[in-house]
């Protein structure tokens, strides 16, 4: 049973779904509904040419605890009916945590894709989610050797496999589709621009932090294009920032965009600014190779920093603007390979789970 619930999970599990199908491995695809509107969820199944989910839990809870509880109850019911040999979850969402807890309480092994990531920023609920899921998982698919060492240092009891990250598989598989099918760059006012995404609670729910980020984009030395997450727009409106931000000459605020459109924006951008760990990883893919400024005080993707793709710049307005200027002037070439693998992570995961000495083959 493959469980997804958010845009990043759908993207990162898409190559796994394809790998299972190529190997003839039976699976049930379940969508929790954590991202439940069309632009944030269903559109991604269409863009990635994935089969529609076999089951949609359609959770509607608004708080993290209630979301987790609804997912637990829904997944428990499905497990009771279907008795899957394993539950495959990805990342650090409430869907991942709720599904993982329901599985272990039902006696079903958990397999965790993207295991071993740590930011050590305990303001982030995702940090708790990923740690708990790692310690209840029977099979842990670590994207890098550094992630494997973290898991070993924490003495996880499950089996650890280094596979690379499936987000690189997704970029490799979908960048050509994006280049051919996306027309979004025709709608932009700017020929050169920095691409920005901001959605994390610790950024958008703090008025001062969100104001700093918004003002940095409005005063950036390069125009900024930003697909605006629904949560981010709501907070910008609440704090009286939406009007100045959305009408600023230096900013083009877009509604949420599909995955192929987002890949096209990444490929066309001069620079990326984000608080998304997944976007940091995507920027290292051979089809992207973009510099990234991480709008957070920490990152659980240190490999991207060490490789030279990313820099953690925090959320201070002046610091962000200064780092944008430095990044635009940087002449040093980026590495040609990604620290997160070469695009075969999904095949490695499918091979492990299809092995007779793992789940009975």
- Report angle CA 205, 96, 57 to the nearest 5 degrees: 95
Q: Are 211 and 312 in contact (CB under 8 A)?
A: no
Q: Which ranges of 114-248 does DSSP label H, i.e. alpha helix?
A: 125-136, 145-153, 166-181, 201-204, 207-218, 230-238, 242-246
CA–CA gap between residue 45 and residue 30 (Å, rounded): 12
Asked about 199 being catalytic, the answer comes back as: yes
Phi then psi dihedrals of residue 43, to 5 deg: -60, -30
Which residues, other chains included, contact 287 with Cβ-Cβ below 8 Å and sequence gap of 6+? 171, 172, 175, 267
> How many residues in total does the chain contain?
361
Phi-psi category of residue 107: left, alpha or beta, with phi > 0 → left and psi -120 to 50 → alpha: left
DSSP sequence for 312-329: E--S-HHHHHHHHHHHHH
Catalytic residue among 31, 35, 112, 199: 199
Q: Which two tokens stand for residue 95?
A: 């869907």
* Residue with token string 């199944």: 45
Which residues, other chains included, contact 275 with Cβ-Cβ below 8 Å and sequence gap of 6+? 197, 198, 199, 200, 203, 294, 295, 296
Query: Which residues are known catalytic residues?
Result: 199
């Amino acid at each position: 049973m493959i469980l997804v619930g958010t845009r990043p999970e759908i993207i990162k599990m898409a190559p796994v779904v394809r790998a299972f199908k190529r190997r003839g491995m039976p699976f049930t695809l379940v969508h929790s509904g954590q991202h439940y509107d069309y632009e944030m969820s269903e559109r991604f199944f269409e863009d990635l040419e994935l089969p529609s989910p076999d089951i949609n839990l359609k959770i509607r809870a608004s708080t993290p605890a209630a979301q987790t509880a609804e997912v637990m109850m829904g997944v428990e019911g499905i497990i009771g009916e279907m008795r899957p040999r394993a539950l495959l979850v990805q990342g650090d969402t409430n869907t991942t945590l709720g599904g993982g807890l329901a599985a272990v309480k039902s006696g079903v092994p958990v397999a965790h894709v993207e295991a071993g990531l740590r930011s050590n920023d305990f303001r982030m609920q995702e940090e708790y989610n990923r740690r708990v899921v790692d310690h209840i998982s029977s099979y842990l698919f670590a994207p890098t050797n550094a992630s494997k060492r973290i898991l070993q240092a924490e003495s996880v009891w499950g089996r650890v496999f280094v596979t690379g990250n499936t987000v690189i598989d997704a970029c490799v598989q979908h960048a050509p589709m994006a280049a051919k099918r996306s027309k979004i760059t025709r709608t932009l006012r700017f020929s050169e621009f920095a691409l920005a995404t901001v959605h994390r609670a610790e950024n958008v729910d703090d008025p001062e932090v969100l104001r700093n980020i918004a003002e940095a984009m409005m005063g950036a030395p390069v125009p900024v294009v930003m697909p605006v997450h629904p949560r981010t727009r709501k907070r910008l409106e609440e704090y009286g920032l939406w009007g100045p931000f959305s009408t600023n000459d230096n900013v083009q605020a877009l509604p949420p965009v599909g995955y192929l459109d987002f890949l096209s924006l990444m490929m066309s951008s001069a620079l990326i600014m984000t608080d998304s760990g997944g976007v940091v990883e995507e920027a290292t893919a051979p089809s992207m190779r973009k510099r990234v400024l991480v709008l957070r005080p920490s990152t659980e993707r240190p490999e991207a920093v060490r490789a030279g793709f990313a820099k953690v710049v925090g959320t201070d307005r002046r610091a962000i603007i200064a780092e944008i200027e430095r990044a635009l002037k940087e002449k040093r070439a980026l590495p040609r390979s990604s620290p997160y693998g070469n695009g075969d992570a999904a095949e490695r995961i499918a091979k492990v789970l299809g092995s007779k000495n793992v789940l009975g083959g």
